[in-house]
Amino acid sequence: MNDKGLTVLVCTYNGAERLPATLAHLAAQVVSSHINWEVIVVDNASTDDSAGVARNEWAKQNLPDVGFKVLTESIPGKINALATGTSASRYEYFIICDDDNWLSPDYVQETYTILEKDASIGAVGGQSIPRNDSGIFPAWFNEYAEGYAVGEQGGGIAGGDITESRGYLWGAGLGTRTKLYKDIFKDFPSLLTGRNGKKLSAGEDSEYSQRLILKGYKLFYDPKLVLYHYLPAKRLEETYREKLFAGFTESEKILDKYYIATEMKIKLDINQINKYRLLVTYLFKALFTSSPKKRLARINMMKYILNRRYPNDPVLEAIRAFEKGQ
């Protein structure tokens, strides 16, 4: 059982240049004296002495009452770094703070308060504001901002439950429950693997969000949670953008199957009488769509409603087993 309090996990890969500003913003957090908190930096296979930079920068802050440690994870991949960080986390809640995230001074306090107030909230996120060295962004940036985890996550709402309307939260600034996170992946490792068996480079935040929904938890958005997402010039080049979105495209092949399961769960949880109406609706859509992808999705939805197995789709079968705890 984790102690009452909150851990900030900073996962970094070659973040030596970015860590000083990120840690300075964490040191500027204004947290009530009754809330215990700590910072854990996980050096994820860096080659630029990120670990040493993190130690030196935090030592400058002179915060003896805030726990601090640096861990190393030699296997590349953020999900591996998060596993290392949560295994060492002392406290009940944690925030994912990427090495380019500058959290507003009340971020730790507000996240703790939200999670403490409502046990049905599995994860909470806020709004992300882009920052760079010039203050000027490419003409195409707004069109692709979502992929950079920039903007509001509530679709313009003042804040609240976005489980059904959005279905996922960005990993940047995400606050959640430590034991819950570990339990979600304990017996069911991430399904985000490519054809070669290697972990995919994107989508771990969406997968976690989808798994929370399948286990009956809410996703919550609060615009009072504000972080600034620092984007160096290299990440605003078109070649980087193309690589970033190629990773999303690969992950979506798996995440789309999670969305089938969560869409059905949400609709059936609202009203079990919907079962037969949904069957007829999806049968009609499957028969009259010209898109093979949409037809397959509707057929898989009907199988989900009827509690049928997916012998030719190991990903959907694994998602089904996860939801049922098998």
Q: Is residue 266 assigned to a domain? A: no
CATH number of domain containing 163 = 3.90.550.10
Q: Is residue 298 assigned to a domain? A: yes
pLDDT at position 23 is 98
Q: Is residue 153 assigned to a domain? A: yes
Domain match, 138 and 168 both: yes
Instruction: Spell out, as residue ranges, where the chain has pLDDT lower than 50.
Output: 196
Domain match, 205 and 310 both: no
Structure token digits, residue 50: 């990120």
pLDDT tens, 57-95? 999 999 999 999 999 999 988 999 999 999 999 999 999
Q: Is residue 279 assigned to a domain? A: yes
Q: Is residue 293 assigned to a domain? A: yes
Domain match, 96 and 234 both: yes
* Alpha helices by DSSP H, 14-104: 19-27, 50-59, 78-88
Domain match, 132 and 71 both: yes
Looking at the 3D structure of the chain, how many domains does it have?
2
Domain match, 93 and 242 both: yes
Radius of gyration for the chain, computed over Cα atoms and rounded to the nearest angstrom: 20
Cα distances from 67 to residues 36, 41, 63, 91, 225, in angstroms, run 9, 11, 8, 11, 23
pLDDT at position 271 is 63
pTM: 0.92
Q: Is residue 258 assigned to a domain? A: no
pLDDT at position 66 is 97
Domain housing 130: 3-251
